[in-house]
Structure 1
Amino acid sequence: MKFVQTFVTSTALAMLACTGCQQKQNAPSAFIDLSAIDTSVKPGDNFFLYANGNWLKKTTIPASEVGAGAFLDLYNRTKNNIHTILLDAEKNAAPAGSIQQKVGDFFASGMDSTTIEKLGYTPIQPELNEINTLKNAADIIHYAAQAHTRGSGMLFDFGVYPDDKNSMATIAVFSQGGLGLPDRDYYFKTDAATQAVVQAYKNYLQKLLILTGTDSLTATQQVEQVYALEKQMAESHKTNVALRDPQSNYHKMAVAQLSKTMPNLQWPMLLKTLNIQVDSINVQQPEFYAKLNQLITTQPIATWQLYLRLHTLNGVARYLSTPFVQASFNYYGKALNGQTQMKPRWENVYRTIDAQIGEALGQLYVEKYFTKEAKQRMDELVNNLQKAFANRINNLDWMSDSTKQKAKDKLQAFIKKIGYPDKWRDYSKVNIQRNQYFNNIMAAEANNYQYMISKLGKPVDRTEWEMTPPTINAYYNPLYNEIVFPAGILQFPFFDPQADDAINYGGIGMVIGHEMTHGFDDQGAQYDKDGNLKNWWSTSDYDLFRKKSQQVIQLYNGFTILDTVHVNGALTTGENIADIGGIAIAYDAFKMTKEGQDTTQKIDGYTPDQRFFLSLAQIWRSKEKDAYALRLINTDPHSPAMYRVNGPLMNFTPFYKAFNVVPGEKMYLPENERIKIW
């Protein structure tokens, strides 16, 4: 389980579409969508609705989307740019083995629906036949481990990452997994919305069995067996909140000891099948593996065979013929997210290419769409925010000087990555053929697995990226102590070289400040400047920090969506701290600019400070389908968009001054109750 903290959930970004968004012009006023502002709402009552209310009223969500929002214009523009790249690569003959050939032929193979429909599910038939031959627990473990080497993770989660307590070295990390529903709690909640998702999941599994030759009645019975097995596995899973504590999810164990305490998991054979040779591993959630050690021998082999069959099919259904793609969409698209129409085929193929050979596609993207000017301007913004953050640390009234110095040391040690990697991934071993979509995916998956495994025993390569260049997101990685901003997010509405500073600092400046603050949120604060899970705080300072974090939890627990569904303050703590800190740091950096120091010059009737806050609020405008909003509230560590705006601003005094927020208005908090951490 990789630990990186993103600006926004990747699923949310990937699924937002463009509806009713204003196209920017070169004039500065065009960077604020004046038509979105609802002046019937007081800024101090609900600033999110003030900045976006008219847009919310007139916007409808497309059938193929789970939502619409401020990322919409950016995502659609980026998506269409990539479509152009893919079409050009497909039609223009390129030298064999070049990235253009691989990208173009991969896209062509994915668009070859005639061949894909003809093949049905025969591409996965060899694996299904192998499952039928399994005879005992060791066979089950061996198959699941082999599946990981093909990129099909099942039964457990596994990866190779820097060691939390020795960040310059890599370690094999095993974490809980094996479930088909989004989260353990889905197996135990009894409310109607959850039960509807559970039934849709069962229907999906039944359809997979029927499509591969099982009669309807038998399929229904078999799915109940597999679901009961998964529910037993879920009992041992930690909750999403418990998973946020890095100390309690670090358990470095000797393989020899694991072989004694959990012998049924066949650890030596399991590791050999995974193609790794190590003496110790990090078992993040031992309780899960203890339960798996029990279940692997107490559950019938026939039930385990069904489990493997269904998880094998689920892992590849979206790459097979239309009946499988439709079955997958009915669960993942409709039931989980509220979509009523599938996205066009080319978009799904693009996402597959981005996932499998993303840095090859990324090279073509940055060559055509990312400018040196944007990178230079981002360097300036990042450096200004770093200075602003250091000043804020100096001025903290709750932290001792010794801890302040260590905090500033960590801040100055940030690795800053902007746009795209300094060195690109080598895909020379991936053989991409123009008419073999499934085989291309399997070849890329196998290559990605070998790339990951090859890291074991070698020094950590801190030049690596966790996101591809076109990705519209950003992240902080505590193990590298790095902040990363892919080229995809360095566009309007977040950033534009033509925009005034109020727009850029309220947009991408907030993103930068957010990621910087992740280094000092409730999780990131437990890692030192070198990326090690190691305490660098004085006891009294850390106690004060935890009390302030608890205030954040309590505040966000009081926020609701869909009238009665509460935000989980404990699950969203880190992102909320990053939002609160990110806005404050971005504002301080903005005040270093000429425009930021001018409090009177107005554009379209708004002062520079007001434009800063409007920019911030309008990047978050969004509207989601209820099913999708409910899934996010259960599983996503980010708060809903409205509270990513209103929550931080109700704690930020300059906002009160900019919009004359006074007692009696709904966002008003007395000054002594406003949360200030960083």
Structure 2
Amino acid sequence: MRTYRWLLIAAAVSAAVACDRAPTTATTPPAAETPAATAPVSGIDLAGIDKSVKPGDDFDAYASGAWRRSAEIPADRSSTGTFLQVFEKAEQRTAELIQSLDKAKPAAGTDARRIADYYAAYMDEAGIEQRGLAPLQPRLDAIDAIASPADLSRHLGSTVRADTDPLNATNFATPNLFGVFVAQGLQDPEHNVATLMQGGLGLPDREYYLATDKTMAGYREKYQAYIASLLKLAGSDDAEAKAKAIFDLETRIAKAHASVVDSQDVHKANNPWDTAAFASKAPGIDWTAFFEGAGLADQKTVVAWQPEAIRKLSALVAEVPLQTWKDYLRFHALNDSAGLLPKAYADLSFDFYGKTLQGTPEQRERWKRAIGATNNALGDAVGKIYVDKYFPASSKAQVEEMVGNILAAFRERVDTLEWMTPETKQKAKAKAETMRVSVGYPENWRDYSSLEIRRDDPLGNRLRAEEAEYRHQIAKLGKTPDKGEWWMTPQTVNAVQLPLQNAMNFPAAILEAPFFDPKADAAANYGAIGAVIGHEISHGFDSTGAEFDAQGRLSNWWTPQDAAHFKAAADRLIAQYDAYEPLPGFHVSGKQTLGENIADVSGLAAAHAAYVKSLGGKPAPVIDGLTGDQRFFLAYAQAWRQKTRDEALRQQLIAGSHTPARYRAQTVRNIDAWYDAFEAKPGEQLYLAPEDRVRIW
């Protein structure tokens, strides 16, 4: 499953619990009130506001403190908040659609039949118990048959999947030893190329193996015990000894990995290698056999995104005994498939990955996991019926209008930048003017006609779906890129900016209240979904997006003076976020989260400018005792309300590219209009002097 360069790492989200406490405004509103009979809906959760907190001290606590006191994280979730609230609505809708398909008994060979059968197979717990390890046996047999270094290299190639995505996503690694990303060349917009990326870890990130604190050491101890338990359950002899060897190998793999910060640097990644040169550039793997196994033997060039990691991983393939690799591959085959094996395997997996690493007490109900799995395997097929029922043309038109307004506001803000030269301004505006916006759903739907889905083979269904996705991706190699390609499904609660396509996707499922409500006041819509839109637009000009021109080509379109100013502003933003400490001893990494933070600051500013312009010079109405700007900023902060378990928060801080939601809500401290709206003053914790507020775009 891909993790996109979008608003949040996961849609881990919540139902807000109303509070009896009534809010008060931070400033005295204008005298003229909008008549109650004609007033639009404010779109603000008034009961969630905590009036005992000064907005200038902690705007997140002011906007959502009362909600947070009474909100409870569901037992099957690692966090709760606005995203979960919207996600659960989409999940319930999707469940009703899928379950109704099964009752309708659709014809064989149709997407409706594939959806129904995939879901039914996943739900067949009795059949899964009865079949035991038999569905995985062909994969285990293939591992047992490895008898030479060439066999190992070919097998490692056969495990490669299209499950990394460094540019549309913040997904720089795969559980397999290597992953592949297929998209247009960094400097060749006319042809798709394959990019090879690092992988091979069972823990979330290299730091889980290398960090020296007690918490991480505890995770390592429990992970090694989990490896042994899983092997023992599957009948392996000497499970403890094998687990230690596997863990030691993964530790060496972790030491080979590039960090998240290094992986984000697109210039370090621009390494197109001739496939014939891999043997000399990264000796150890039999690359001829590897590329044959991966279906890439006919490619003349493959990009090495993390070249030093690829060299070190290749060397490990030659250095580590063959039997250790076979034990490692057997464990990963079991681990990867545990959720679709008998309950004992699934429980072991959840106990470690869910309870230990995420702090989640209970596993999600089977039907919820089945819905998620069906969406992963047949996303476009499900998405098509989703938008037919739940996404009206009127909402699509209204959101498209908002996108146009915010893009226009962004272009106008470029004109006001005193530090930027006319030459760079012209190129920035050209990029914004040609940015492709897709709202709701793709123009072209995926063809699943060649994908075999069987009602009695849940694990096989998933493995075939993953392989089909990989074959779909590598079939694009050498061809002209599709600039309108979507990288997520309509039923996904998120949004994405695509730097290589100079495009954005806003799926239907996120275009729901409280992000977007066609009946709500413009201030709330611009503060919530408008800031989402502004965020994605700004990704085209963040620390990565600014490296790409209007054609999606990696290109230096900045003057040296402009680039120096951009870097100076980015460094100030890094320092601002470095100061946040969500957990004792764990600070936000301003550098690791820089792209997302730039998009938050610039996107919020552009959304506010578009909101003000939408008023047409007229004063905003006062609704529920709140001025227009107050509603705008409250809607923004409440969109980011979240309550997260410490274990999940720690994982985000270590491995993620996003700042925790609580601090994203504090982005307002960089926006001048927020100070006027809430009378934030010097001495308050969020207050920044005008010269210290970061303004990048």
Give me the TM-score of the superposition, normalised by structure 1: 0.96
Question: Whole-Å Cα distance in 1 between the matches of residues 4 and 454 of structure 2?
Answer: 34
Query: Would you say 1:380 and 2:401 are equivalent positions?
Result: yes
**How far off its partner does 1:263 sit?**
4.1
Question: Whole-Å Cα distance in 1 between the matches of residues 254 and 555 of structure 2?
Answer: 31
Q: 1:635 to 1:263 in 2, by over 3 A?
A: closer
Question: Are the aligned partners of 2:271 and 2:305 in contact in 1 as well (CA < 8 Å)?
Answer: yes
Query: Would you say 1:664 and 2:683 are equivalent positions?
Result: yes
Query: Would you say 1:492 and 2:513 are equivalent positions?
Result: yes
Question: Whole-Å Cα distance in 2 between the matches of residues 197 and 533 of structure 1?
Answer: 39
348-357 vs 284-293, which moves further: 284-293
286-295 vs 575-584, which moves further: 286-295
**How far off its partner does 1:113 sit?**
1.1
- Of 130, 146, 161 in structure 1, the residue corresponding to residue 183 of structure 2 is 161
Question: Whole-Å Cα distance in 1 between the matches of residues 373 and 359 of structure 2?
Answer: 22
**How far off its partner does 1:268 sit?**
1.9
Secondary structure of residue in 2 paired with 1:161: strand
- Of 205, 209, 212 in structure 1, the residue corresponding to residue 231 of structure 2 is 209
- Of 576, 579, 590 in structure 2, the residue corresponding to residue 555 of structure 1 is 576
Question: Whole-Å Cα distance in 1 between the matches of residues 647 and 175 of structure 2?
Answer: 26
Secondary structure of residue in 2 paired with 1:351: helix
Aligned residue in 2 for 1:76: 88
- Of 65, 72, 79 in structure 2, the residue corresponding to residue 60 of structure 1 is 72
Question: Whole-Å Cα distance in 2 between the matches of residues 180 and 149 of structure 1?
Answer: 16
Question: Whole-Å Cα distance in 1 between the matches of residues 186 and 2 of structure 2?
Answer: 11
Aligned residue in 2 for 1:423: 444
Give me the TM-score of the superposition, normalised by structure 2: 0.93
204-213 vs 262-271, which moves further: 262-271
Question: Whole-Å Cα distance in 1 between the matches of residues 181 and 683 of structure 2?
Answer: 52
Question: Whole-Å Cα distance in 2 between the matches of residues 48 and 402 of structure 1?
Answer: 39
Residues 180-214 of structure 1, C-alpha deviations (whole Å, 9 max, x = no match): 11111111112122122222322221122011102
- Of 613, 620, 624 in structure 2, the residue corresponding to residue 592 of structure 1 is 613
Query: Would you say 1:511 and 2:508 are equivalent positions?
Result: no
Residues 439-494 of structure 1, C-alpha deviations (whole Å, 9 max, x = no match): 22222222212111110121111222111110000011111111110111111111
- Of 90, 94, 109 in structure 2, the residue corresponding to residue 97 of structure 1 is 109
Residues 127-152 of structure 1, C-alpha deviations (whole Å, 9 max, x = no match): 21222221222111111212236989
Secondary structure of residue in 1 paired with 2:201: coil
**How far off its partner does 1:16 sit?**
2.5
2:278 is matched by which residue type in structure 1? L
2:410 is matched by which residue type in structure 1? F
- Of 268, 282, 287 in structure 2, the residue corresponding to residue 262 of structure 1 is 282
613-622 vs 265-274, which moves further: 265-274
- Of 226, 237, 241 in structure 2, the residue corresponding to residue 221 of structure 1 is 241
Query: Would you say 1:176 and 2:198 are equivalent positions?
Result: yes
Question: Whole-Å Cα distance in 2 between the matches of residues 128 and 109 of structure 1?
Answer: 22
Question: Whole-Å Cα distance in 2 between the matches of residues 175 and 596 of structure 1?
Answer: 51
Aligned residue in 2 for 1:351: 372
Q: 1:2 to 1:111 in 2, by over 3 A?
A: closer
Q: 1:125 to 1:19 in 2, by over 3 A?
A: farther
Secondary structure of residue in 2 paired with 1:65: coil
Secondary structure of residue in 2 paired with 1:566: coil
Question: Are the aligned partners of 1:513 and 1:581 in contact in 2 as well (CA < 8 Å)?
Answer: yes
Aligned residue in 1 for 2:221: 199
Secondary structure of residue in 1 paired with 2:284: helix
Question: Are the aligned partners of 1:137 and 1:264 in contact in 2 as well (CA < 8 Å)?
Answer: no
1:241 is matched by which residue type in structure 2? V
1:506 is matched by which residue type in structure 2? G
Aligned residue in 1 for 2:381: 360
Query: Would you say 1:673 and 2:692 are equivalent positions?
Result: yes
Query: Would you say 1:643 and 2:663 are equivalent positions?
Result: yes
Secondary structure of residue in 1 paired with 2:192: strand
Secondary structure of residue in 2 paired with 1:561: coil
Question: Are the aligned partners of 2:196 and 2:303 in contact in 1 as well (CA < 8 Å)?
Answer: yes
145-154 vs 547-556, which moves further: 145-154
1:5 is matched by which residue type in structure 2? R
150-159 vs 470-479, which moves further: 150-159
Aligned residue in 1 for 2:150: 138
1:264 is matched by which residue type in structure 2? G
Question: Whole-Å Cα distance in 1 between the matches of residues 512 and 608 of structure 2?
Answer: 20
Residues 351-394 of structure 1, C-alpha deviations (whole Å, 9 max, x = no match): 11111110001011111111101100011000000110011000
- Of 215, 233, 242 in structure 1, the residue corresponding to residue 262 of structure 2 is 242
Question: Whole-Å Cα distance in 2 between the matches of residues 223 and 406 of structure 1?
Answer: 55
Question: Are the aligned partners of 1:467 and 1:486 in contact in 2 as well (CA < 8 Å)?
Answer: yes
Q: 1:387 to 1:16 in 2, by over 3 A?
A: same
Query: Would you say 1:465 and 2:486 are equivalent positions?
Result: yes
Question: Are the aligned partners of 2:175 and 2:202 in contact in 1 as well (CA < 8 Å)?
Answer: no
1:172 is matched by which residue type in structure 2? A
What is the 5 A alignment of 1:555-634?
555-594=576-615, 597-599=618-620, 601-634=621-654
**How far off its partner does 1:19 sit?**
4.9
What is the 5 A alignment of 1:513-532?
513-532=534-553
Secondary structure of residue in 2 paired with 1:363: helix
**How far off its partner does 1:596 sit?**
7.8
Secondary structure of residue in 2 paired with 1:308: helix
- Of 386, 391, 403 in structure 2, the residue corresponding to residue 370 of structure 1 is 391
2:62 is matched by which residue type in structure 1? Y
Secondary structure of residue in 1 paired with 2:160: helix
> Identity percentage over the alignment?
37
Aligned residue in 2 for 1:18: 15
**How far off its partner does 1:293 sit?**
2.6
1:60 is matched by which residue type in structure 2? E
Question: Are the aligned partners of 1:501 and 1:596 in contact in 2 as well (CA < 8 Å)?
Answer: no
**How far off its partner does 1:30 sit?**
5.9
**How far off its partner does 1:426 sit?**
0.3
Question: Whole-Å Cα distance in 2 between the matches of residues 8 and 577 of structure 1?
Answer: 15
Question: Are the aligned partners of 2:16 and 2:67 in contact in 1 as well (CA < 8 Å)?
Answer: no
Over the residues paired in the alignment, what is the CA RMSD in angstroms? 1.8
Aligned residue in 1 for 2:6: 6
- Of 108, 116, 131 in structure 1, the residue corresponding to residue 128 of structure 2 is 116
2:696 is matched by which residue type in structure 1? I
Residues 514-550 of structure 1, C-alpha deviations (whole Å, 9 max, x = no match): 0011111111101111111111111111111011111
Question: Whole-Å Cα distance in 1 between the matches of residues 16 and 235 of structure 2?
Answer: 42
Secondary structure of residue in 2 paired with 1:6: coil
Residues 575-628 of structure 1, C-alpha deviations (whole Å, 9 max, x = no match): 0000000110000000112388414x3111100110001111111111001101
1:358 is matched by which residue type in structure 2? G
195-204 vs 231-240, which moves further: 195-204
Q: 1:469 to 1:589 in 2, by over 3 A?
A: same
Secondary structure of residue in 2 paired with 1:171: strand
Q: 1:2 to 1:641 in 2, by over 3 A?
A: closer
Aligned residue in 2 for 1:274: 294
Secondary structure of residue in 1 paired with 2:405: helix
Secondary structure of residue in 1 paired with 2:613: coil
**How far off its partner does 1:350 sit?**
1.0
- Of 431, 445, 463 in structure 2, the residue corresponding to residue 410 of structure 1 is 431
Unaligned runs of 5+ in 1: none
What is the 5 A alignment of 1:474-493?
474-493=495-514
Secondary structure of residue in 2 paired with 1:616: helix
Secondary structure of residue in 1 paired with 2:552: coil
What is the 5 A alignment of 1:435-474?
435-474=456-495
Unaligned runs of 5+ in 2: 20-37, 164-173
Query: Would you say 1:298 and 2:319 are equivalent positions?
Result: yes
Q: 1:444 to 1:538 in 2, by over 3 A?
A: same
Question: Are the aligned partners of 1:21 and 1:73 in contact in 2 as well (CA < 8 Å)?
Answer: no
Question: Whole-Å Cα distance in 1 between the matches of residues 557 and 676 of structure 2?
Answer: 36
Aligned residue in 1 for 2:35: none
